[in-house]
Structure 1
Amino acid sequence: MSPITRLGDSTYEVDHVYVNATAAVVGPKEGAGPFHGQFDRVWEDEMNGQSNFEQAERALLENAYQIILEKSHLAWSDIDLVVGGDLLDQLISTDFAGRTHQRPLLGLFAACAVFTEGIGLAALLVAGSGPRRTLVSAVSHHFAAERQFRYPVELGYQRTPTAAWTSTAAGAALITDRPAPIKVHRVTFGRVVDYGGKDPNDMASAMTPAALDTIRHHLTATGQQPDDFDAIFTGDLGDFGLTLLREYGQQQGMTFGPELNDCGRSLYDLETQDVHNGGSGPGCSASVFAGPLAGRLRRGEWQNLLLVSTGALFSPTTYQQGESIPCIAHAVEFRREEVPSG
């Protein structure tokens, strides 16, 4: 059997690809949420000794990298390829971190969908006898993203009920061909979907159709139903987007049960943490997977998980020009594997 099998237009099944280690580093707000105690490191404050928000975002990413290396007992020279992305112009967090690690780097932009895009790409490369050890990452910082995409953070503006809270978080995963309890089984790369939404403070409405489109393509290609999974986690739809996803799915004959959840909705306590619709940012789904979700797979509490990170592909320039918000979602199906000891 080929190590890569194409199941549909954009769905691939891969063999002998595993998640050997994960790392999640989050800010104090994220660390105080429902997943308290399930991250590798929680910062005491948003800056962690850095002089500006952008440097703090890069420090989050470098913290996650260091944790991965320590867990894996590897040096940077053992890493064949780094694949990652962030929200900031020219991918400065991912690219500037490359000045330190000095490993081959593929910088990706898919907004908040970049983590599953990176894992999907890494899985194909590893399965295809390319790099054996690929480090995938995604990072965001609340205040860095706010002042780039919306308002100066010093303004103290009032946020709308549909607004998401960009997460101060980084997640990383080491993808290799060495057997481990978490297997990358299948990936589906999404297409750009644009239903005409223009409000940067309501990205859930814009991203939900993209999430449903990718989930539908994945299920069709693999012959599965939503309840075949222990959990389906979307990326950044939040509470409002999750409701829309259920409704849109029902209209297309796809019924979601209790297996459906969302990383942005789960990362915070929506009643007490004043995040409105929930979390967003590339670090949102990356940290939620690398921390709590991967933990449940490793412990055998889940046997399979579909992670569908979602991204709004707009920029401050396109928003100011009155453009709509095109969106995308990429899906990765993980499975629990029993690995013989020794």
Structure 2
Amino acid sequence: MSINEERLNQFLGHAVGDLGAAISATLMLVGDQLGLYRALATSPMSAAELATRTGTNERYIREWLGNQAAGGYVDYDRDSDTYSLSAEQALCLADPGGPVDLPGAYSIVEATFHALERTKENFRTGKGMEWGEHHACLFHGTERFFRAGYNAHLIMEWLPALDGVVDKLRAGAKAADVGCGHGASTTLMAQAFPESTFIGYDYHAPSIEVARERARKAGAGNAKFETADATGYADKDFDLICFFDCLHDMGDPVGAARHALQALKSDGSCMLVEPFAGDSVAENLNPVGRVYYGASSQICVPVSLARNGPALGAQAGEARLRQVMTDAGFTRFRRATQTPFNLVFEARP
């Protein structure tokens, strides 16, 4: 087989870039957890100044800064020998309450390494792995990564894209957040609509405890949380039921949607937020699809297969999600809006 040297060099260049990103993943966590990004966001600093500010060792900080500057995550000024974050870098790296939280995503990456032996076993046997079997960093990272998107879009874009839902929430409605995890979406909606009541459900009891504490600290007294799976909660007469980035993980997504339909009022709405995906593999061969296929093969698909589910995967796509909702009995289904990372659907009885 002949080798095209130009194509070889292109591939190796791409692979070296990926290798640099991979070896830097733990250093992203170091930067976040030791406060390095937050310190650099305040002003340019030398390695010694950053070490002093953060109570870290200068020798290690010099290596960390070199790695971050080489990757374009930190700016370096050769003349002053200082490092800094641009406004754009700071937005993504140093503001956990903002619209983008990249370090949070790296806690998800960390979780996949904790699960590596199970992942290999799953690939060989077709078995699954329950959500609650993962390392706790997965729950923390998922909250942070998705919370940023909810901060940016949920209140001002996604809910207004649903027919009449915001008016109901302002007047006082009853809403459910199924598969709520740490309750970031539940609490955010509760804060925005104090006249309404929000109930978050999740089958992972430790996450429900965290959600209760998060809501308490946020002063969201109109948010409550219960340990229940997506087909097991008893409340009914909801004006709105939400599934945020979770339906594709479930062992029985049709059953979960059917249960939601039965729990909705006749004029209620179901909001389904799912990872952005096309309906074919070819449509998803892009950077976003790469991230989601990676997470799906190690987290989403195993969770569904652990319960003998259909393993929709994070790249399920609109057509398959539409089929799930119509099989459950919903008669109306539409794409309400989208972002580069999410598709937002509205289903009605």
TM-score scaled to structure 2, two decimals?
A: 0.29
Higher strand share: 1
TM-score scaled to structure 1, two decimals?
A: 0.30
Larger-Rg structure: 2
Higher helix share: 2
Higher RCO, 1 or 2 (CA under 8 Å, sep at least 6)?
1
